[in-house]
Amino acid sequence: MDKKYSIKVVSRKTGLSAHAIRAWERRYNAVAPKRDSNNRRYYTEEDIDRLTLLKRATDAGFGISQVVGSSDDELEQLVDSMNVIDLPVRGGRPDSELSIVRPDTSYENYVEGFMSALEQMDSKTLENILIHSETDYGLNGMIENVVTPLMEEIGEAWRKGNLRISHEHLASHVIRTFLGGVLASLKTFPGAPNALVTTPLDQWHDIGALITAVTVASEGWNVTYLGPNLPAEEIAGSAKQNNSKVVILSIVYPEDDPAVIQEIRKLRRSLPDNVSIIVGGRASASYRKVIDEVGALNVNSLYEIRTTLESLRSGK
């Protein structure tokens, strides 16, 4: 008899949120769950395998509408032919005979639509744009190519005076709420290592840390997300309590804060030697000297976070 899996288990096994799974079923008939004698929906191993293939394709930058009609064998050929299958990319064609073309402008359309809705202070449309972009491109594709460019564009528009503070606050609230919901929907993995994600003391910009937390969780780690502005001793205490293998800090602004330097040093002294520290964020490169001094790792992209975590997990 075939094994039966709930949507929670499928979400954990595939890395897709329950919302994305249901949306792919409803809009694209990606899989067709069955019902048991109690009329409860369940999924099979074949459903999990197909959703996993579709996720790998969407994570690489394809729209779900482009690949959902492909057979499992065709999807296998597609994802196996790609040099990087877990990082969304723009442009180009896969080294495959399949007649599927990567999207060139759809990400930009989502960003433009978000900015247009933001000018109108239309919070419902902002939320729907994020939901649809995750449905169409997968979680990693949405974060890498919609949310991250959005935060950069919003920040630049605010600095130039093209957006009011109220616009920036609305955008941050919508994105923060959406990502928080995604993070909550990503289940824990028994036996997987734990990563703690936060920002140091007096670092209040937390969306970068939240993006990182979602990315880390989607890679199969158990994540403890503590939000912003935590002193080193609190970070270290939580890391010890949760037996964290790595602590990830996001530093966005400013680029020359002596207090941040001291907090990084204090954190290293407070953590066990076998706990790694990763530091990322827009301003992190400015603290490279102290990062190197304490033996921490500096990352400059979500791709680097993924590859660094893979190395730490495998012990390489």
Task: List beta partners, residue 246.
Answer: 195, 276
* Long-range CB contacts (within 8 A, 24+) of 230-236: 230/198, 230/199, 230/200, 230/201, 231/200, 231/201, 231/263, 232/200, 232/201, 232/263, 232/264, 232/266, 232/267, 232/270, 233/266, 233/270, 235/196, 235/198, 235/200, 235/267, 235/270, 236/267, 236/270, 236/271
Q: Are residues 252 and 292 in the same domain?
A: yes
Ranges 181-190, 213-222, 287-296: which has the least confidence:
181-190
Q: What is the distance between the alpha carbons of residues 105 and 39, in angstroms, rounded to a whole number?
A: 42
Q: Is 61 among the domain residues?
A: yes
Q: Are residues 193 and 307 in the same domain?
A: yes
Of 44 and 12, the structure prediction assigns the larger pLDDT to 44
Q: Are residues 177 and 216 in the same domain?
A: no
Q: Is 171 among the domain residues?
A: yes
Question: Last residue of a domain, which of 184, 205, 236?
Answer: 184
Q: Are residues 72 and 145 in the same domain?
A: no
Q: Are residues 22 and 43 in the same domain?
A: yes
Contact call for residues 266 and 233 (beta carbons, < 8 A): yes
Identify the residue whose tokens are 């954990």.
Answer: 12
Q: What is the CATH number of the domain that holds 72?
A: 1.10.1660.10
Of 43 and 27, the structure prediction assigns the larger pLDDT to 43
Q: What is the distance between the alpha carbons of residues 213 and 161, in angstroms, rounded to a whole number?
A: 30
Q: What is the CATH number of the domain that holds 115?
A: 1.10.1240.10
**pLDDT tens readout for residues 96-153:** 333 333 444 467 788 888 988 998 999 999 999 999 888 888 888 889 889 988 988 8
Question: Last residue of a domain, which of 184, 209, 233?
Answer: 184
* Long-range CB contacts (within 8 A, 24+) of 295-298: 295/268, 296/264, 296/268
Q: Is 246 among the domain residues?
A: yes
Q: Are residues 195 and 253 in the same domain?
A: yes
Pull the structure tokens for residue 165: 């503070």
Q: Is 169 among the domain residues?
A: yes
Ranges 82-91, 167-176, 264-273: which has the least confidence:
82-91
Share of the chain above pLDDT 70, in %: 91
Alpha helix positions (H), the chain: 7-14, 18-28, 45-59, 64-67, 72-80, 106-119, 123-142, 148-159, 165-185, 207-218, 232-241, 258-270, 288-293, 302-314
Q: For the chain, what is the domain count?
A: 3
**Quick check: pTM over 0.95?**
no
Question: Last residue of a domain, which of 163, 184, 205?
Answer: 184
Q: Are residues 158 and 271 in the same domain?
A: no
Q: Is 278 among the domain residues?
A: yes
Pull the structure tokens for residue 80: 């196996």
Q: Are residues 127 and 232 in the same domain?
A: no
Q: Are residues 163 and 194 in the same domain?
A: no
Q: Is 94 among the domain residues?
A: no
Contact call for residues 291 and 298 (beta carbons, < 8 A): yes
**Residue-number span of the structural domain to which 169 is assigned:** 106-184
Q: Are residues 222 and 153 in the same domain?
A: no
Of 101 and 199, the structure prediction assigns the larger pLDDT to 199
Q: Is 178 among the domain residues?
A: yes
Q: Are residues 309 and 213 in the same domain?
A: yes
Q: Are residues 214 and 306 in the same domain?
A: yes
Q: What is the CATH number of the domain that holds 268?
A: 3.40.50.280
Identify the residue whose tokens are 């919609």.
Answer: 146
Q: Computed from CA positions of residues 288, 279, 130, 132, in that sequence, does the dihedral angle turn out positive or negative?
A: positive
Q: Is 248 among the domain residues?
A: yes
Q: What confidence category does residue 12 fall into, taking pLDDT thresholds of 50, 70 and 90?
A: confident
The span from the first CA to the last CA of the chain, in angstroms, equals 40
